[in-house]
Amino acid sequence: MARPFRFAVNMLSVGSAAEWREKCRRAESLGYDVILVPDHLGMPAPFPSLVAAAEATERPRLGTFVLNAGLWNPALLAREVATTDRLTGGRLELGLGAGYVKEEHDRAGLPFGSPRERVDHLEHTVTELARLLGDPEHVPQPVQAPRPPLLLGGNGDRVLRLAARHADVMAFSGGGTAPDGSLRLASPDALEKRVAAYRGFAADRPEPAELNFLVQVVSVGGDPRAKARELMGYSPDLPEEDYLDHPALLTGSVREIADRVRGHRERYGFTYFTILEPYLEEFAPVIEELRG
């Protein structure tokens, strides 16, 4: 039996305290299940933003999407996670990734290792968080035991294997990163193979993880091919038809997009979709259609 859908919005800007509270309440009223905050310099600081979101809302879960492990010391992160879980009433979901933007590391005065070194640090962070938060002597203690649900984002085999061992949610972005840190979308067939690889690594799990996908563009109405061409800047070598079929682009009428989402659940197993903040309102009727 397929998991029920979950929908998250990834908040990219903060504004004033009143504006932040209103935006979070609006996400809740529109039916979003999770309010997420990224971990990029120039965007909201994740943990205080999530605490403020918890104070403004009652129902949504609250998560990081995703923390750049290279910017965090595991012991200090464990303190942040446990405190935030307590201050949000046990609503925290922790998202982690290896990091991919060298310029942010440079600005922070932190080393930007090779891909292998970044995944090494991610693995170290995951295992240390499990050890620290699972220790009954750790202060503070998270509300959720032994730790908040863990989401891991990535695309390479090592991250997929790590997620298969440890994560409650595996998050796919639909591609990899170019040398400049920008997204390069994979074809739908290549994405399907990455999901299949994860399933192979996770074959011995007693319960499969939830599969998340990050949607890049939502367009209700209008010309689907025009939106596909807008998205084609991510990977100019992919044919237009691949973009029209890609879960990164959700376009068409509300009913057509809902059918596309159902199709992506059938093809890839994605049941948890993250929508970027600019499409908060535009995607909301699709949530209603899927739950109606």
Q: What is the residue extent of each domain of the chain?
A: 6-291
Structure tokens at 58: 């009652």
Q: Are 67 and 39 in contact (CB under 8 A)?
A: yes
Query: For the chain, how long is the longest CA-to-CA vector?
Result: 58
Q: Tell me the mean pLDDT per 10 residues along the chain, length 292.
A: 92 97 98 98 97 98 98 98 98 97 94 96 98 97 97 96 98 81 86 97 94 96 86 85 94 96 98 98 98 90
Give the pLDDT of residue 180: 66
Q: Are 151 and 169 in contact (CB under 8 A)?
A: yes
Which among 211, 218, 213 is positioned nearest to 258, based on CA atoms? Answer: 218
Give the pLDDT of residue 228: 87
Bond before 60 cis per omega within 30 degrees: no
Give the pLDDT of residue 176: 78
Rounded Cα distance between 280 and 106, Å, is 32
Taking the model in full, what pTM does it have?
A: 0.96
Can you tell me which residue has the tokens 């999407």? 65
Give the pLDDT of residue 181: 64
Q: Are 250 and 286 in contact (CB under 8 A)?
A: yes
Give the pLDDT of residue 237: 85
Q: Are 31 and 7 in contact (CB under 8 A)?
A: yes
Architecture of domain 6-291: Alpha-Beta Barrel (3.20)
The residues with which 175 forms a beta bridge, in sequence order, are 185
Rounded Cα distance between 65 and 44, Å, is 12
Can you tell me which residue has the tokens 């908060």? 280
CA angle 8, 13, 19 (to 5 degrees): 95
